[in-house]
Each structure stands twice: as C-alpha cells, then as structure tokens.
Amino acid sequence: MKYRRTLLLTLAFLALTTITQVGGIIIGVHLLAFKLLTKKIRLRHLHRLLYAVSLLLFYHACVAWLIPPLAKSFGRESLPWKSEYIQASNITSIILFRNYARSGAKEILQNITQQARSTSGNQTLKLVYLDACFPFLDGFPLAPHLSHNDGK
C-alpha cells in the first residue's frame, strides 16, 4: 500500500513537472508543509478537505505572487491574462505557467496590436495568444509545442 502511494506521488510529480515545469515542485513543497502542520488532525475526511483547499490556495499564491518575481530573474515576464491589448485564449495558459515570454515581449505584442488597430480602424482589436513559454529554463519541452519552446 505504501509503495502504491509513493508510485502515485512520483507519477503525479513527473506529470505536473512535465506539464507546468514547476507544478510538481509546488505540490511537493505543499505536501511536506501540510504534513508538518497537520500532524494532529486525525479525521480522514477533514484532513483530505483541508489538503485540497490548502493546495488550491497555495497553487494560486504561487501563480499570482511567487513565480512571476522569480521568473524575472531568469529573463522572463508573464503575459497578461486580459489587458487592453493582449489576452490569453483561455485561463489554462495561466494555470499551467505557459504565459511567460522573454522580457520586452509584452511591449512588442502591444505595439503590434496598436499597429493592427490603426491599420484596421478597429480600436477594440486584441492580440490573443495560446501558449508562450514556461517561467524558467530554456529548452524545457513545452508539449505540444516542441519545435518552438524558447519563449520567442
């Protein structure tokens, strides 16, 4: 039974790291912190509920406040989910940390949108992106975008 749980945790770590680059690490840090903080909770259902809620809150905090400043030190910045000029095609790009591009890319995309607005005469035109890149490490595989995974 213990081996099955370890195998499942290892597979979850590998899958989340592959999909998000940092999701496995976030889950691992949360699991360790949660074990230390909730040793005295004996009710299984309450323990599972607290785990799920705290994981969602911790993951959201990482998406919003922890990863963006760390990514800047790697020369990446997050593209906005919705702004006047740029928006993600869906929230999945943000949740999976696939909305990062090299510093300065946001300004370039805004300039492209401004030029397209002036050319077309449509002042509500927005540039919609699918996936950009992960927040850290060049060359990390960005499935299914394996041919252009460098954030350019």
Tell me the per-residue pLDDT of 60-82, one tens digit each, with 9 for 90 and over.
999 889 999 999 999 999 999 99
Containing structural domain, residue 68: 2-72
Residue 130 within a domain = no
Total count of domains within the chain: 1
Residue 87 included in any domain: no
CA-to-CA distance for 96 and 110, rounded, in angstroms? Answer: 23
Task: For residue 129, tell me if it sits in a domain.
Answer: no
Selection from 56, 47, 60, 136 nearest residue 94 by Cα: 60
Give the number of C-alpha atoms closer than 13 A to the C-alpha of residue 72, restricted to the C-beta side. 4
Task: Note whether residue 58 is domain-resident.
Answer: yes
Alpha carbon distances (Å) from 128 to 68, 89, 99, 113: 20, 6, 12, 10
Confidence of residue 149 (pLDDT cuts 50, 70, 90): low
For residue 15, being part of any structural domain is answered with yes
Q: Strand 76-78 and strand 100-102: pairing?
A: antiparallel
Is residue 150's pLDDT more than 80? no
- Domain assignment of residue 137, yes or no: no
State how far the Cα of 48 lies from the Cα of 44, in Å rounded to an integer: 6
**Cis amide bond preceding 144, omega within 30:** yes
Is a pLDDT exceeding 60 seen at residue 99? yes
Within-domain flag for 126: no
pLDDT (mean) for 74-95: 92
Report if residue 40 sits inside a domain.
Answer: yes
Please state the pTM of the whole predicted model.
Answer: 0.82
Mean pLDDT of the chain: 88
| pLDDT-derived band at 97, boundaries 50, 70, 90 | very high
